[in-house]
Chains A and B, each alone.
Chain A
Amino acid sequence: MLNRSINGAEGLKAWLDHHSVSRIRTMATDIHGQPIGKYLHREKFESALPKAHAFSDLALGADLGGTPHLTFWHPFRTSMLGDIALKPDLSTLTLDAHQQGLAHVIGQFVQMDGEPISLCPRTQLIQLCNQLNARNLDLLTSMELEFFLFEKSYDSIRASDYADLMPRTLTSLQSIYTLRDAHRATPFMNAVTQTLESMNIAWEAWSDENGTGQIELNLPPAPPVQTADTVMRVKQVIFETAAGQGLAASFMPQIKAGHASGMHIHHSLLGSSGDREASMTPLLMDSNQRYQLSRLANHWIGGLFQHLPASVSMLCPSINSYRRLRDFSAAPLRQSWGIDHKSAALRVLTPSPGAARIEHRLGSSDLNPYLALSLIIASGLSGLDANTELPPPMSSTGWGSEPSATDLPNDMVVAAERLSNDARLRHYLGDEEVTYWLKSRRHEWLSYQEQSSNDDPSRPTLWEFERGFAKL
């Protein structure tokens, strides 16, 4: 997806001229995983570089309901509510698939003088990738996008207070991989995949998933920042395609009873030296070692394992994402890992050195991809630095057992408590940024407590639908 043809102002001008670009849409991602941006006239875009434009610092300091985060602070903000800027990464420039003259670019939040903002999720991920690269290590990552598709439009569903939710499927059964159900989604997914191809976004496969009206789209492995960028773009394409066809697609994890949507994250650890991309060596597998895992992998996965309880807060960011964490719902409930074990939180696959990978299964579909990948790198680095040893794998199923000390947090408060108490993870993620995150969860939880009445705990509230159905 990287646009390597743009080099400097002249290269940019040539690219924009060549493609007759007159407008550019910018996109950055806030801490909730919400795409934020503006449509710019080309002249404005070029003249403002290396920044693209300014916007209020509330772009990075408000909740999903638009309420500013005024009850806590981060030093990125000016003391009287000022502006910050979006700095575009020109390697992400791509053309819109449908609108002539429109290009898209992804960037990160910076101060008006161009200084990075550590709270910006994309900046956090870039900084953690730099730490990884400084050790001659790299990751290849991919995410599985699960979402629900509904027959009615966003407007119509909202007008019904989210009661009129007819899944686009053949029956109400929770079957999986059925081609009959997939057929109902084919016109929609054809439009999605064709749009992705027009935008030079690679995809691997899509299928009918377990939930009624649920679809899974798989993306090929890529470096972490590129993966997160792609996830944000693909979600936007899915939203726009649904809106254009009078349908509604949602990444809200638990919409109706039954299976919920997760976002499983695959990653493999690579060694790099010299020309990074020319000489990346898979490092996870060693056939001579226990579990066929290298010493490095042992420590890396040991870190992921150790920090699992603290990871829940960022991987399950919303009130709604905790509805997914139930027995036999395909979501992991225990601090666990296993070899090709789908009820474990960390599923390790070692079919061959090149295909060896870790599937992190904890995340819900509404996670912020930049923060989720940052969390994985931070946990892995912690494991490497502390030579953390991986305990034995989980040998039983991870569901249906009595409560135990290995249970992962299953609500927002206890998840926040675990992250708050994990000093090592806080160190790698940035203490100030973790504190802001925890306070933002406090804000979210209090807002839910105050504004949500929940007579039926199995069903999301209107408050949850308004924040999660279409915005993420």
Chain B
Amino acid sequence: MSDLLIQLPPKPDLTVLKLAAFIQRRYRLDPSAVSEAIEPLVVIKMNDGHLLSLSLREQTLIIEPAGRHSPDLHVQLSPFSDAPPQFLWPWRTGLSSRGQRLKRCFTSQLIPWPTAARTFLDQATSFNAQSFQLTCTDPRDGQTLIWGYGPSALSIEGEKDRLALFFNGYTQLFREMVTGQLNCQGSMENIANLADEGLKQWIAWPC
């Protein structure tokens, strides 16, 4: 399944790009959840009160300013927080079958880090399994994931919650490294490429 193309609204802010990235990640995991929820249109009220409409045209997610629609759901999403977005439904929506479809798509899942990491790494475009090998470890429980078989080594260590936040797309690698949450060892090239992939998960930046 290839990624969604994303058409952004004029002057998008960081919350819009984070929301778009969230939908992209959901689409990778469960494309029908996204297409069924967004068909034909979803209106989301953002933190600051502005409304966005989401629609799908073939494989393009179109995000536009919404007019005078009633929102189907609200999202609370802080720009630089590592907290997953919180989605809230008006009670009428939440009870309907449409509400169930929306909930299936718009639920912040924190997939356990080994599973999330494998999905993250398998879909990476900045590196591949032939070029390097990533060893990822939670030193507390000793759980380890080894991905790739290339000659260039990269290791990343951290507690399972921090690893889960990173591989689920809710944090940035360098921020985690600077604050001592994750320890990453390897060449600058490999660290940069891993950080780049992380940013692709974190915000839907157009490239």
Contacts and interface: CB of A to CB of B under 8 A. Distances in A.
B42 interface: no
A146 to B, nearest CB: 25
Contacts of B174: 70-71
Interface in A69-92: 69-73, 77, 79-81
A421 B206 contact: yes
Interface string B11-40: 111100100000000000000000000000
Chain A interface mostly helix, strand, loop or mixed? helix
B188 interface: yes
Given A71-B174, A73-B126, A77-B188, A410 B11 contact: yes
Interface string A445-472: 1100110000000000000000000000
A413 B188 CA distance: 27
A77 B190 CA distance: 12
A73 B189 contact: yes
B187 interface: yes
Nearest to A442: B205
B145 interface: no
B10 A414 contact: yes
A119 to B, nearest CB: 14
A73 B11 contact: no
Interface stretch (B70-78, B105-113, B163-171, B192-200): B192-200
A80 B190 CA distance: 10
B192 A71 contact: yes
A413 B192 contact: no
Contacts of A411: 10-12
Contacts of B196: 71-73, 439
Given A72-B196, A410-B10, A442-B199, A80 B188 contact: yes
A387 interface: no
A340 B190 CA distance: 52
A69 B174 CA distance: 11
B207 A70 contact: no
B12 A414 contact: yes
Given A79-B188, A413-B17, A420-B206, A71 B8 contact: no
A438 B188 contact: no
Contact of A80 (B14, B126, B172, B187): B187
Nearest to B172: A71
A417 B206 contact: yes
B80 interface: yes
B79 interface: yes
Contact of A70 (B8, B12, B80, B192): B192
B191 interface: yes
Contacts of A71: 172-174, 192, 195-196, 199
Contact of A73 (B192, B199, B205): B192
A435 interface: yes
A72 B79 CA distance: 21
Report the contact-size class of chain A (Cβ under 8 Å from the partner): 20 to 34
Contacts of B7: 417
Contacts, number: 76
Nearest to B11: A411
A446 B207 CA distance: 14
Contact of B206 (A70, A72, A438): A438
A416 interface: yes
Interface string A311-355: 000000000000000000000000000000000000000000000
Interface in B87-111: none
A317 B182 CA distance: 33
A70 B188 contact: yes
A429 to B, nearest CB: 13
Contacts of A445: 205
A288 B111 CA distance: 68
A435 B207 contact: yes
A77 B189 CA distance: 8
A438 B200 CA distance: 12
B207 A413 contact: no
A70 B191 contact: yes
Contacts of B173: 71
Contact of B80 (A79, A421, A450): A450
Nearest to A70: B192
Interface string A421-453: 100000000000001001100100110011000
Interface in B140-197: 152, 172-174, 187-193, 195-196
Contact of B192 (A72, A435, A449): A72
Nearest to B194: A71
Contacts of A450: 80
Interface of B: 7-8, 10-14, 17, 79-80, 126, 152, 172-174, 187-193, 195-196, 199, 203, 205-207
Given A414-B12, A416-B207, A421-B206, 15 more contacts: A70-B192, A71-B173, A71-B195, A71-B196, A72-B195, A73-B192, A413-B8, A413-B17, A413-B206, A417-B8, A420-B206, A435-B207, A438-B206, A439-B207, A445-B205
15 contacts: A70-B174, A71-B172, A71-B192, A71-B196, A72-B196, A73-B192, A77-B188, A77-B189, A79-B187, A79-B188, A414-B12, A416-B206, A438-B207, A445-B205, A446-B14
Q: List the 9 shortest-distance A-B pairs measured between CB atoms, nearest first.
A: A438-B207, A417-B206, A79-B187, A79-B189, A71-B195, A73-B192, A420-B206, A442-B205, A72-B196
